[in-house]
Structure 1
């Protein structure tokens, strides 16, 4: 025990006690006596297996758990803990208890003791059994063989020594595990065996798993008591190359094979996830906390269309903003699902990453393709294999087209799906003729039989003969046929209609401006008068090359 000069009861003095690795038996006799004699006891956190034992024994204490929610970073958290403890010690002696050993991975203790000694206050540090001692026992490892201990929150490849065993601490969540994994793969490769240890030495709670490195962030049981042991590379083994050459000579990134793609410009989702996590917390935003997958559906659709608008405007600033809004919706839905215990938000990234690698064997494996058409053929074949062959009587492959799509897009998707089964026109002449046929049937349903061009039948006679249900069906048939034409002409129907709507809006605004310019009220103008302005708008577009 390291002890410095004690002072009178009302003078500043600090005692720091290690609570041990997790089991109450890890608390030393000296530590127990220091806790029992403490006038004011502070715990860094109450989330520790020894704390319930202290509560049962009648100890009164304060914790700093509330700061974990409000601090912007762990560095800020530790500085604030130290500041508050110094402030408390100015009124007299305090005792500060921390998990494990006070000198192992406890930055708040280091800051506290540095400041106390700068002020000349007496300090006592009472050791506890650290997680390292418990880990040695769990692994059957002798630290005399050489060991490096590193913080998972501040891990860099240059800190790693491939010749020695390494323990990574602070792997308290899957997002931290993902960052640790990527850093380790730079040095050891994705298949390097590691051991993940949770609650080392805690009876009934200890859990140990030996896995390949690339699976580290796929464990759903990592928490604040989790560490990772990375054994040294075997003698003579070469450092992990970040790329390898396949049988065909193609270069394959090892992290891509492991399902973790990284590049110098990659940014983690963690900041956005943390912000949304706070908004969805019990003390967060009331509106955000009321949202569900169903209630958010309109916002996701709206944000997607605003991305399309930004693309059409060729506005990088707007595109950046709108893509962020879409990303927000993805994170929002992911955290709602995670809160309901349905899946983790990290699984969204894992699933799509694995899918993209799996469906691009011409990039990540040895498959050869000649052009983009062959890529699409492979894509559909792989997708069909993933979903499995459908037995007789099961739902059709065309049922896989989502019913939630906008109607124009859904029509196009259905037609493309049918074409994959050979149910399609041989060329564009078929769908063009079909449009003419459906136009005739719509005219007939509207009460103008045989009227190819002129619609000169008496209106009262026409209205009396109409069947609303048939009109709806024939109009739907015509729209479906038009979508088929757009597909053969390689024109996106949704984009084409959007452009026409935008063109209409531009012309309409021009007509409004003309009316204001001439001192006329648009609603009181005859249609023939407004049509003159309309033609002027069209002429202006032609002159500007935008007809």
Structure 2
């Protein structure tokens, strides 16, 4: 662009009532009639257009641009390009009129602000009444209480804060209103009350309707001048779904005014709870019970919250530091997702993960070459799980069997050694039986690995099967009015064989 480019002035047409149009903007619009300027409207769909027509003020609109492009971003880019081109082709001032205020929800204005300076074009802005002015007035809330303005086309649950009044603009049609409803329902109850405003401040056209959230897209009349207001809320039904509320509750429980039991807990006293709650979650997975899983995952999360709260109380870290650390780690260890690396399959993704872990250790000053291949296996893992992880780590450097039948032979060898220990009369027999039984279990885990079976899952399934069959025996005795003391082993064995048939039919 040359330095002889025409200046661009952006004016706000206000919310639609001509009585609300500022005097300065009106004078600027009138200059078009004298040939001093050329007027462009973003859209003809605005009540102020009738005033322009009545006063014979000529204008062009960009409505055809909306139909020529598939997304709003493309539309706004095209409008900015056309205005910049017009400024370079003529000497008279370019006036670009937008609904409301130029600096409120006008992406084309942001594009022009960014580009005019680079292309040597003078840019001026004249404010008009924003739709927010009418929203504050007509909805009747004070923004000092806490307020956020959100774009319906970019709405997501993470931008919603129930503690603030929320006004959602750009609700152009019923489809957009439906998207807004679904997003709000991630945070608010279905029957939460919201307010819809059409053409606020425009005489004869204004409509304000309060509805329950699930009815939001059932209303008619959505258009360029439609807003949705979600009043701020302190209701438990709303905040009960937020992470912040969970953090607050745990703080209260640990406070001097909170629960005496929670106050007394330490990392050590809660240690077993963390393990137990994790296993209860696993149980719900095995049961395929989503409702129970939801509850047990909450109990497990509570353990995390309590441990983090204890550290927050002494100033080391907070649960938000835990979250930040996790977020950073997930992004750092997934360069094939958040970066430029590639991973065609799960194995390649795992290789990336392990390589990054090694690099992280180096940055911490850890000499990886001096570490054992077996390092990194948690000390407190359950025995079968720990054996499996140790074997997998040893296998990465070639210390492994070649075929499953070799492992099976090892199982038989360990079983024979256990038999020998069982008949031993030496003083060390008890310790020898312990060691040989451990060796046998370790070799069975190795066999499970070659069979691609998780030993923990295998034993868990057998445990469940045992409980089910033993419960059958108990039920049969109850039906016959008998106790275990009145029953011999052969009778119980008969019921056990029946249970095997019944459980096989169930599966």
- Normalised by the length of structure 2, the TM-score is 0.52
1:457-501 deviation digits (Å, cap 9, x = unpaired): xxxxx6677711111111111111111111121111111111111
Deviations 1:31-63 (A, max 9, x none): xxxxxxxxxxxxxxxxxxxxxxxxxxxxxxxxx
Unaligned runs of 5+ in 2: 1-126, 133-141, 153-157, 163-239
Deviation at 1:419, TM superposition (A): 1.8
What is the match of residue 322 of structure 2? 348
Instruction: Give the aligned partner of residue 73 of structure 1.
Output: none
Residues in 2 aligned to 1:311 and 1:366: alpha-carbon distance in whole angstroms: 35
1:384-425 CA-to-partner distances (Å, cap 9, x unmatched) read 211228548844141211111111111111112222222222
1:419 maps to which residue?
Answer: 395
Query: 2:349 — aligned with what?
Result: 375
Deviation at 1:373?
1.3
Structure 1's 153 and 521: CA in aligned 2 closer, same or farther, altered over 3 A? same
Taking the aligned partners of 2:256 and 2:293, their CA distance within structure 1 comes to: 33
In the comparison of the two structures, how many residue pairs are matched? 288
Alignment check: 8 A CA contact 2:285 2:293 kept:
yes
Aligned partners of 2:445 and 2:455 also within 8 Å: yes
Instruction: Determine the structure 1 residue equivalent to 2:455.
Output: 493
Offset of residue 307 of structure 1? 0.9
Instruction: Tell me whether 1:400 sits opposite 2:349 in the alignment.
Output: no
Match of 1:476 in 2: 438
Instruction: State the secondary structure of the residue aligned to 1:437.
Output: helix
User: What corresponds to 1:363 in structure 2?
Assistant: 337
Contact 1:435–1:478 (CA<8 Å) still a contact in 2? yes
Q: 1:352 to 1:393 in 2, by over 3 A?
A: closer
Q: CA deviation at 1:298?
A: 1.1
Q: Tell me which residue corresponds to 1:201.
A: none
Matches within 5 A, 1:76-87: none
Following superposition, which runs of at least 4 residues in structure 1 exceed 3 angstroms of deviation? 148-159, 176-180, 389-395, 462-466
Aligned twin of 1:40:
none
* Pairwise CA RMSD: 3.3
Q: Who is 2:297 aligned against?
A: 323
Q: SS state of the match for residue 294, structure 1?
A: coil
Deviation at 1:151, TM superposition (A): 6.3
CA contact (8 A) 2:311 2:317 kept: yes
Aligned to 2:420: 444
Secondary structure of the residue aligned to 1:155 is strand
- Looking at structure 2, the residues matched to 541 and 331 of structure 1 have their Cα atoms a distance apart, in angstroms, of 41
Offset of 1:158 from its aligned partner?
5.7
Tell me by how many angstroms 1:150 deviates: 7.7
Q: Given the alignment, which residue of 262, 276, 285 partners 1:288?
A: 262
Residue 312 of structure 2: aligned partner: 338
Tell me the CA shift for residue 301 of structure 1. 0.9
More off after superposition, 470-479 vs 339-348 = 339-348
SS at match of 1:357: helix
Kept after mapping to 1: 8 A contact 2:404/2:447 = yes
Give 1:343 deviation, angstroms. Answer: 1.4
